[in-house]
Structures are given as C-alpha cells and as structure tokens.
Amino acid sequence: MTKAVLWTAKDAETATGGKTTGNWSVSGISIDSRKVSKGDLFIALKGPNFDGHKFAQASLDAGASAVMVSDAAGIIDTDKVLLVDDTLDALVRLGLAGRARSNAKIVAITGSVGKTGTKEALKYVLSQQGKTHASPASFNNHWGVPISLATLPVDAQYGVFEIGMNHPGEISPLVKMVKPSVALITTVVGAHTEFFKDEAEIAMAKAEIFDGLESDGVVVLNRDNMHYFALARRAKELGLSNIKCFGTDAMANYRLFEANIVTDGSAVRARVGGRDLEYFIGCPGEHWVLNSLAVLGCVDAIGADPLRAAQDLADVTPPSGRGEISTVKVPSGDGTFTLIDDAYNANPTSMMAGIKVLAQSRPGEGGRKIAVVGDMRELGDDAIRMHADLHHPLTAMEIDRVYSVGPLMAELDKTLPAERNAGHFDTAEDAIKPIKADLRAGDVVLVKGSLGIYVSKIVSALKSCGVVEKSTTVQD
C-alpha cells in the first residue's frame, strides 16, 4: 500500500524557510537513522551528546526520500537535501505549518499519570469514527510535539496529542502549537516533585495546557482529584467557561456509578453526557475505570459519538510497557507464567496502581504474585521515604515475592518483611538471572519502574523465553 504524500519539496521549503534543489516528496518523518522508513524525511537534530548530521547520508541509503540539515557536508545526494538554518527550529516551523493546514478537531492531553494510555485509548475509539492521528509513543516534548504536528495528515478528522513536562513553563509553548479544541488533565499527583515545591505547583504547571485553547474550547478535568477546584478556577481566569469533569462525584458530567473490576478488565455503569451507559473496558485496574470516563468525556466534548466509543473500549490494546499482559513460557521447565509489562515509567501513584493490578490477578495452580519494582525517579527529598513505604501496600495486598532494583529501592529492601523479600539488585541486568531461575508455572509477574532504571531489560529477557499470547488489555 502506497503511503500518502505528507510534504512535497516545495511545501517543506515554504514551511521551514529552507532551500532545496530537488523535487522530492515524503510520506513520513524520522529523527532516528536506525528507524528510517522508505519515503521518510530524515531530520538531523543536534544535542549535547549527538549530531544527526553524521547519519544523513546513511538515512538516504536506507530509503529516506530527503534529509533536513543545517550542514550538507558529506551528503552525496545533494538534490535530496533541505538546507535550513537550525534543524530544531525548522522542525517547529514544519509542525506549525502542519497544524495550520489541518481542519482536524484536536484533543490535547496532560497529567501526572495516565497520559499515554488515555491518548492511545482515545485514538482507538475515535479512529472507529473517522481518520485519527495521534502522537506516536510518548512524543510529548519540545521535539515530539512538532513531529506529531508535522505528520498530521491533511485529511485527518481527529487528532490526539500528548503533552508532557517535568519543569514549569514547558507545556505552554507546546499547547500553543497544537491549538486544541479540547484539553484534558487526567489527574495531578506527586510526580516530578524534585522540580516543584509542592503538588499545587505541579497543578499550575499542568494548567498551562489551557493556554492553547480558544475561548470556546472545552476543558475536561478529574472531579475526584484534590486539585480540581484550583484547575477549574485557573481555566476561568483565562476566560474558559466550558469546563466538564469526570469522576464519582455527583456533580461530574461523566459520572461513575459502579464498576466490577475483574482480572481482564472492568464492567462499568456510568452516566456520560446525560445518558446512562453500561460498557466493558479491556483494562485491568480501577484507575482505568476513571481513565475510560476521561476518554468518553473527550469524545463527547469533541462532538463524536460516546455511545459507540464506549462499546469500542472493550477492544482497546495497550501501549508497550504500560500494562501489556503476556503469557510467557517458563524459562526452565514446562508451563507458562503471566507477565505484566509496566516498565515504561513509575511514580508513587502509578506504582500503587500496578501493585493493585497484580493483587487482583489470579495465578495458576501453584503460582505466586511476584513484583519486580525499580526506582521511581524525580521524587526529590521524599524519595527515600516513598521507596521505603512501599512495603505497606506490598504486604497489605499480599504480594508473595518482591524483587527490588536500583539504589533507591535499597530502602524498600530494608523495610520489606523477609518472607516477601526475594532480593535486591543494583541494576536490572543483575536481577535477570535470579528472576528467571525463580519463576514457575502459574506465576504472575509485574515489572514496574522508572525509565532510567531500565527494568524494561528484565521484560525483554523474560519475553525472550517465548511469548505464547498477548492480551488485549491496557493500563497506564
């Protein structure tokens, strides 16, 4: 199947202010020469420890149709060069041009937890109702958002953009590029606390997502979150009066009545836009019940059909590393175990959610509930206490065995009861062999930790034993 043209040479030249002698066209954008697809525009970004210009010709050799560079030295295919003053600045201009030519209805999403999973679920249900574009993976920063905008198809009906931050002032310029008609804050909790005085400051940083909304835009907030009223007040200060909310509160526009949470998802009874609905989410964990209401709230706010979206939530599939459930062969011996891959990131709230999912699981005969937990980063002065305190939920929820990974998780190693403590390891690599040797048929294994501790390597090592089946559940 031939990919649609995203940018012609002339259009890209006009959008970026660059110069090209070629007559090429591109169907995608890449900033990683190792992942270039045929027809891509490779953009040679620069950073403190890398320079994409070194890989420009290699990207052309790999099938890229053109490269965007600020220095064409070493490039043989000179007619495939878009020469710009600064590649990141030019990428931003390309993203702005992509947004300007689109008539898509766009939702922007931020929050302390739940951003990517909610984005993927919203993308899926909207895609059943019209052509939908969304940020790939976690493209939610100063280069990810422009790429997401630059790859927005001209004929897309809906767009879903994730916007992240870990410092004040990072969301505002990005959401002003996106110009959404709906802005969702999933929740505000203690994440990135190293860079903020308190949660109130985090809430105001998340509230920057209102900066890109037009006066008639819709704000969607978590009514059950303690920062709801501060966020709603901030929206009103900015002249935004169309504020909707989701949660269990009687005043919620998208209100949860009841949820029956089972191993492979949840049956939900709720009121959405004045209509009582019953639906099933193929997502384990009570946190995803509320996330589903956020999804349906955005569907309703953007003018799509929430009833159809509710039906489609049963088929949502997980982002990799955010709760994907797989049946995997036991490394030694016969049988299989269940792997919950939640290795992409972690903070105290999402860690608790992951432990609850593990606690609600049903091991096979003779199986155990095993948690492999890695450091939670960017927690500031409270980091030691927050890691040590994890022994409370792990014990209360009767997790059978706990492996801890990373220097901060050494604090958990000190507080965890001996009968549950399977061992502490400084690195993910050190933990792989003992974990594989310990596993037996029927076990359920949760792997959870911040990106920088690389517990994803444990996931990869376990999956290398042979994935029998992946479920269609999702979690964030």
List of E strands, 286-405: 324-329, 336-342, 369-374, 401-405
CA proximity to 71, closest of 60, 59, 55: 55
Average pLDDT over residues 85-89: 97
Same domain for 416 and 293, yes or no, is no
Residue 399 inside a domain? The answer is: yes
Same domain for 37 and 108, yes or no, is no
Residue 97 inside a domain? The answer is: no
One-letter identity of residue 403? Y
Same domain for 367 and 407, yes or no, is yes
**Is a pLDDT exceeding 80 seen at residue 475?**
no
Cβ-proximal residues to 366 (8 Å cutoff; 6+ apart), any chain? 440, 441, 442
Give, in degrees to the nearest 5, the angle at Cα 113 between 112 and 114. 135
pLDDT for 18: 97
φ/ψ (deg, to 5) at 69: -140, 160
Same domain for 116 and 141, yes or no, is yes
- Which domain range does residue 340 map to? 324-470
Helix-then-strand count for the chain, H and E: 16, 24
Residue 330 token pair:
């036991």
Average pLDDT over residues 208-216: 93
Same domain for 290 and 431, yes or no, is no
Q: How many residues does the chain have?
A: 476
- Tell me the pLDDT of the chain averaged across its residues: 92
CA proximity to 247, closest of 205, 286, 209: 286
pLDDT band at 317 (very low <50, low <70, confident <90, very high): low
Residue 338 inside a domain? The answer is: yes
**Is a pLDDT exceeding 70 seen at residue 94?**
yes
> How many CB atoms are closer than 10 A to CB 300?
23
> What pTM, to 2 d.p., does this model score?
0.81
Number of domains the chain contains: 3
Q: Is 106 helix (H, G, I), strand (E, B) or coil?
A: strand
Look up the CATH number of the domain holding residue 444. Answer: 3.90.190.20
Same domain for 180 and 262, yes or no, is yes
Give CA–CA dist 332/439, Å, rounded.
Answer: 8
Same domain for 219 and 189, yes or no, is yes
Residue that terminates a domain, selected from 261, 296, 315: 315
Same domain for 377 and 249, yes or no, is no
Q: Which of 150-154, 312-316, 344-348 has the lowest mean pLDDT?
A: 344-348
CB 473 within 8 A of CB 282: yes
Give CA–CA dist 342/450, Å, rounded.
Answer: 10
pLDDT band at 473 (very low <50, low <70, confident <90, very high): very low
Same domain for 200 and 139, yes or no, is yes
Residue that terminates a domain, selected from 55, 87, 119: 87
φ/ψ (deg, to 5) at 221: -125, 160
Average pLDDT over residues 425-439: 96
Same domain for 62 and 130, yes or no, is no
Look up the CATH number of the domain holding residue 208. Answer: 3.40.1190.10
Q: Give the position of tokens 């199947």.
A: 1
Same domain for 114 and 58, yes or no, is no
Average pLDDT over residues 296-325: 89
CA proximity to 133, closest of 99, 161, 103, 92: 161
Average pLDDT over residues 419-438: 96
Q: What is the pLDDT of residues 341-385, one digit of tens each?
A: 988 888 888 899 899 999 989 999 999 999 999 999 878 888 999
Same domain for 424 and 363, yes or no, is yes
pLDDT for 316: 83
- 148-178 exposure pattern, b = at least 16 Cβ within 10 A, e = fewer: bbbbbbeebbbbbbbbbbbeeebbbebbebb
Residue 2 inside a domain? The answer is: no
Residue that terminates a domain, selected from 315, 337, 369: 315
pLDDT band at 288 (very low <50, low <70, confident <90, very high): confident
Q: Is 234 helix (H, G, I), strand (E, B) or coil?
A: helix
pLDDT for 285: 78
Q: How far is CA 147 from CA 5, 15, 19, 30, 135, in A?
A: 16, 14, 20, 8, 8
Look up the CATH number of the domain holding residue 79. Answer: 3.40.1390.10
Give CA–CA dist 279/399, Å, rounded.
Answer: 30
**Is a pLDDT exceeding 70 seen at residue 340?**
yes
Residue 207 inside a domain? The answer is: yes
Q: What is the pLDDT of residues 22-77, one digit of tens each?
A: 999 999 999 999 999 999 999 999 988 889 999 999 999 999 999 999 999 999 99
pLDDT for 472: 41
